[in-house]
Amino acid sequence: MAWTVATLQKSLKERKIKSIDLMRTVFAAIESRQPQVNAFISLNKAQAIEEAEKADRDLDKGNAKLLTGIPIGIKDVICTEGMTTTCGSKILHNFVPPYDATVITRLKAAGAIIVGKLNMDEFAMGSSNENSAYGPCRNPWDLTRVPGGSSGGSAAAVADRQVPLALGSDTGGSIRQPAAFCGITGLKPTYGRISRYGLVAFASSLDQIGPMALTVEDLAIVLQVMAGKDPLDATSSPEPVADYRAACREEVKGLTIGMPREYFGEGLSPEIDKAVRDAAALFEKKGAKVVEVSLPHTKFGIPAYYLAATAEASANLARYDGVKYGLRVGRVDDRGVALRSMYERTRHDGFGSEVKRRIMLGTFALSSGYYEAYYAKATKVRAIIRKDFEDAFKKCNLILTPVTPTVAFSLGSKMEDPLEMYLSDVYTITLNLAELPGLSLPAGFSSNGLPIGMQLIAPHFREDLLLRGGFSYQQWTDWHLRAPSGSSALEARYESTKGK
């Protein structure tokens, strides 16, 4: 059986395994695979080992919390006190936050142990993890291919069995797309379901933190810890938090699942089309009803997103100027001489090409005379897309779609064509625009052995429905438990690290 969060919880509590041995196993796996996969930017080894020893003492005394002794990797866009947080960028290569993000505070309070910070596209801007200043992460199923982005390191580390659990962030598909490419399970919650306090902003009205793991049950366990109102984040919601693990146990019989006709057309790989339709047939066999629905304004999702997101990025990234923190290139004397030069050189040297591209696009969209024509119009399109989903949910409980139009593509194959890269997120972007929750889960493999993902979408704050549908599907299939042939095999490594 795979070492999931749920199985590790049980084994640790029953003292069949020790947290310290588990932690040594994790670091042995990471260090063995880092040269090939490059999933981590930094490690927290000394502190993690110390915390694992404490976890064992707590477990021995019967004082375990929900996640006591469970290792977790954190996307390097989430602030961690005393640990470097780079956002995959040169401009923050030396930034050490003086505080923890709310999600980190809650995970630590539940006993989780942070093993390190995970690779990502710079400032979460990308679909392949090739925009990282720390080198591209690679897909453990095929090291010549991308893991997806921007949470590529998070997806690759879980798929490669380096860690059982990771956090990502999702602005336009950055949890769901890499989860699909790497054959794991990832959840983008409703906007406001999880606090964004301590998440370094890309596009503030779209960003959302979420968990990534092997199973839907693991996501439910971690979501329970992180969800809920946070006084430090005015955009977090007071909406009551459901019992997510209990929701997993409910059957799908009686649910209606919609399949939007706009998501099954030109550009979709036939193998992915078949895998998603096969999943729909399985839901129907198990008692759910499957109907066709329409999301007619889907085609406007990408242009609306790349106006709204880049405009917000332009404003959010204006703070990186070499003055208060991060990289500084050049000097300024007491009279402020050379200040402009310092700004320009810092941002020129500190940001990569994709970040610069999006800042320029966003600055143009917000510039005088263009705001109404671009950003304001994109905001109106968001409202129309949200209405499309509201209308669709009058006919169904869940919506089933592909996650990506293709399986993971080769490293370097789309770097020269930004528009083609942006189209990788055609099925995920609309959820962020409409602020809806989405679940990506494995649904099969292509003829060349690469993972295929499918996406479940639910109404606002109905993560319980997502988990219910996803958990049921994973009881009928084993796609989510299959591992890459060269993976770290945590379970096998454990015996060799015990007691060392």
Q: How many CB atoms lie within 10 A of CB 425?
A: 26
Strands (E), 253-368: 256-260, 289-293
Separation of CA 241 from chain center: 21
For residue 146 the two structure tokens come to: 């991308």
Contact 152, 141 (CB under 8 A): no
* Dist CA 284 CA 282 (whole Å): 5
Q: What is the DSSP string of 371-406?
A: TTTTHHHHHHHHHHHHHHHHHHTTT-SEEEEES-SS
Contact 414, 406 (CB under 8 A): no
Q: CA dist 40 to 129, 138, 429, 493, Å?
A: 12, 11, 26, 19
For residue 239 the two structure tokens come to: 């909406």
- Sheet of 289-293: strand order equals 40-43, 113-118, 71-75, 165-169, 209-213, 185-188, 438-445, 451-457, 398-402, 256-260, 289-293
Question: Mind telling me the catalytic residues?
Answer: 75, 150, 174
Within 8 A by CB and 6+ apart from 333, the residues are: none
